[in-house]
Amino acid sequence: MKFLDQCKIYIKSGHGGDGCVSFRREAFVEFGGPDGGDGGKGGDVWVEAVEGLNTLIDYRYKQHFKAARGGHGMGKNRTGADSEDVVLQVPVGTEILEDDRETLIADLDEVGKRVLLAEGGSGGWGNTRFKSSVNQAPRRYNPGLPGEERWIWMQLKLIADVGLVGLPNAGKSTFLSSVSAAKPKIADYPFTTLVPNLGVVDIGPSTRFVIADIPGLIEGASEGAGLGDRFLAHVERCKALLHLVDATQDDPDQAYLMIRKELEAYAEHLADKPEIIALTKADALLDEQLEESKATLEKVTDKPVHIISSVAGRNVKPILRMLARHVTGEVLEDEDDEPTEAGSEGWTP
């Protein structure tokens, strides 16, 4: 299934049905009279967030959604049928915007959230509604009210607790595959990841969070270079960022500063999110080289720098526990460093 995170569609609610002009014509009825029924209501257009969807690809092949018109009124005081509503099902995290792509209509950030986008027109009155003592045979009726129509934009922002950011080939996909069941594409060339990937991290009986792997940024991404910054919208809802820096490159400090610059250019609040910095690919360098890269990186940031290896599993669990602290607020104990009871020497055969 292809990934699509934004689309433009046309919606139109149904017109209301017209009222009816009719008179009783039964045999042997001495006094007739008007019996025209009212028109039915036109269909509404709704949007609803549902489970099981993670892309807007369904709206790539169909962009026009129109609700049916309400039924017209009929004789014998029969009211026209109300038209069925049109319900657009979207992934959780979808924003609905006006045609200007700036005015927010709705933010569907919860499963089951439902918003009315276009209300159907009311049905018109039949001539029965207009009878009176001075007008016993009215030939007047009301047409149904028109529905609403508009162009709207849908923009998906994936619901993730942690966002992975960094240059291409910084090890984001490898990290995601090592800590979750996600299977992103991994290769030794830039821009291996072309769309965001999600993975669920489970580090305890009650501690679970979602990580989003964002395609690599490059210098000038905020101006459209490379894949641009369009995928940064998927980390706007994250509670924390994990910034991965390739330890094997010559200038890890410049790589870090470049990504920070692009984050700030995209949105100031995104750059203000809690951030954990980690040097990746520790299994490819000597300890002396790692310490040198760490010292270089710490000169340009006031945050501690961690050294990890996703392939070897080095320092991965401590990083996950720190992320869980930002996401859930809980402080998880390090199982590997739990102290033993005094005098306990363990079991021996």
pLDDT score recorded for residue 349 = 47
CA distances from 11 to 14, 47, 56, 77, 322 (A): 10, 11, 16, 32, 45
Confidence of residue 267 (pLDDT cuts 50, 70, 90): confident
> How far apart are the C-alpha atoms of 299 and 277, rounded to whole Å?
13
pLDDT of 15 over the 90 cut: yes
Q: Which long-range contacts (CB under 8 A, 24 or more apart) does 97-103 make?
A: 97/152, 97/153, 97/154, 97/155, 98/150, 98/152, 98/153, 99/8, 99/150, 99/151, 99/152, 99/153, 101/153
Mean model confidence pLDDT for the chain: 85
Residue 198 has a pLDDT of 81
Q: What is the pLDDT of residue 200?
A: 85
Residue 27: pLDDT band (50, 70, 90) is confident
pLDDT at 117 over 80: yes
For the residues 329-346, what does the mean pLDDT come to?
A: 49
pLDDT for position 334:
59
pLDDT, one tens digit per residue, over 172-228 is 888 988 888 877 777 665 666 667 788 888 887 778 888 888 876 766 655 655 555
- pLDDT band for position 344 (50/70/90)? very low
pLDDT greater than 70 at residue 272: yes
Please report, as a single letter, which amino acid is at residue 128.
T
Between residues 343 and 288, which one has the greater pLDDT? 288
Nearest-angstrom CA–CA distance, 219 and 214: 15
Total residues belonging to the chain: 349
Segment 318-330 mean pLDDT: 86
pTM of the model: 0.75
Token pair 């030794």 is found at 188
Q: Which of 33-42, 102-111, 256-265 has the lowest mean pLDDT?
A: 256-265
- Rounded average pLDDT over 30-50: 93
Is the pLDDT score of 76 beyond 80? Answer: yes
Sorted by where each starts, the structural domains of the chain and their CATH numbers stand as 1-23+31-156 (2.70.210.12), 162-333 (3.40.50.300)
Mean pLDDT over 280-296 rounds to 89
Which range, of 40-44, 112-116, 333-337, averages the lowest pLDDT? 333-337
For helices 316-328 and 172-179, what crossing angle results, to 10°? 80
Lowest-confidence pick of 40-49, 123-132, 276-285, 338-347: 338-347
pLDDT band, very low/low/confident/very high, at 99 (cuts 50, 70, 90): very high
